[in-house]
Amino acid sequence: MQQRTLGPFQVSAIGLGCMNLSHAYGVPPSPEQGASVLLRALDLGCTLFDTAALYGFGANEELVGKVLAPHRHRFTLASKCGMQGVDGKRVIDGRPDTLKATCEASLRRLRTDVIDLYYLHRWDRQVPIEDSVGALADLVREGKIRTIGLSEVSAATLRRAHAVHPITAVQTEYSLWTRNPEVAVLEACREMGVAFVAFSPVGRGFLTGALRDVGTLDAKDIRRAMPRFSPENYAANLRLLDGLEALAARAGCTPAQLSLAWLLARGEHVIPIPGTTQVKHLEDDLAAAALQLPADVLAQAGALINHQSVVGPRYPAATQVEIDTEAL
């Protein structure tokens, strides 16, 4: 597997986002199926596994810890704090004491003494970013985490945080159909030597071409509340897939692989972390790291699907106010 630099770590160019093994897209797979995905990823050379206290309200960290703790020396472990489940509800809380307590709970669930990369999952606007990052810096000094990351922040917030303690990575949604990072934070990361970890790199399933009818989504699937997945908007967006699928076929790969290859070509500091519940899809995703696609193919993909051709914002208004990323 091709390698990329993540702070002091060398990791696989494509990591694994573990969220949907426990959270977000309807009924999660069985623990046995989740374990098969995690172990197969490790066997295929994936060395970056990404989870969070929020996912499954602790269940995802429990799964990752149970399955991967015996192999802890073989991979870089990332988790997140600052957004978690409290009494069955999602809560954003960036107060220092909360972040430190969350870390202690995560260490127990993950069955590890130290988390390699610990993100502030969301910036709690009620707490100065300097205070939240200062708490994470305390955890670094205490040896409970090795490096600090931020999620869904702007370039300006990254710089404020970096002045308190070096930031190793910024994690934000980035794909052919979500281009917000291109406003400023992607380049800021490159300039500062900060890795850019791209979540939802295949558009929450859209760019795989497999989801044709949003009416089939589970009632609790979070995509049902996302504007791009409304029946009207999704019908318009589906028209983009024929061109992407034809382009991928000519390139000898799948649409998901083309989408991941496009991301990898955006910069050496970009590390996509697709998620899946299926071993077959996992194998397809990780194989994208070995592709050598012509520049004109990647350019055509980017011209076909982008913020101007996609219909609908990525988040509903209530969620949009919770994030700090630049808007297009």
> Quick check: 144 and 117 in contact, CB under 8 A?
no
Q: How buried is residue 106: exposed, middle or buried, by Cβ count under 10 Å (0-12/13-18/19+)?
A: buried
Considering 55, 118, 119, 174, which one is annotated as catalytic? Answer: 55
Q: How buried is residue 83: exposed, middle or buried, by Cβ count under 10 Å (0-12/13-18/19+)?
A: buried
Query: Which residues are CB-contacts of 157 (< 8 A; sequence separation ≥ 6)?
Result: 123, 129, 150, 324
Neighbouring C-alpha atoms within 13 Å toward the C-beta of 229: 23
315 catalytic, yes or no? no
**Cα–Cα distance for residue pair 42/271, rounded to 1 Å:** 17
Q: How buried is residue 42: exposed, middle or buried, by Cβ count under 10 Å (0-12/13-18/19+)?
A: middle
> Quick check: 313 and 228 in contact, CB under 8 A?
yes
In DSSP terms, 150 is beta-bridged to 120, 170
CA 273 to chain centre: 5
3-class secondary-structure state, position 117: strand
**Cα–Cα distance for residue pair 72/284, rounded to 1 Å:** 24
Query: Which residues are CB-contacts of 222 (< 8 A; sequence separation ≥ 6)?
Result: 24, 25
3-class secondary-structure state, position 208: helix
* Strand (E) or helix (H) holding 171: strand 169-173
* Strand (E) or helix (H) holding 118: strand 115-120
Query: Which residues are CB-contacts of 324 (< 8 A; sequence separation ≥ 6)?
Result: 123, 125, 152, 153, 154, 157
Residues tagged active-site: 55
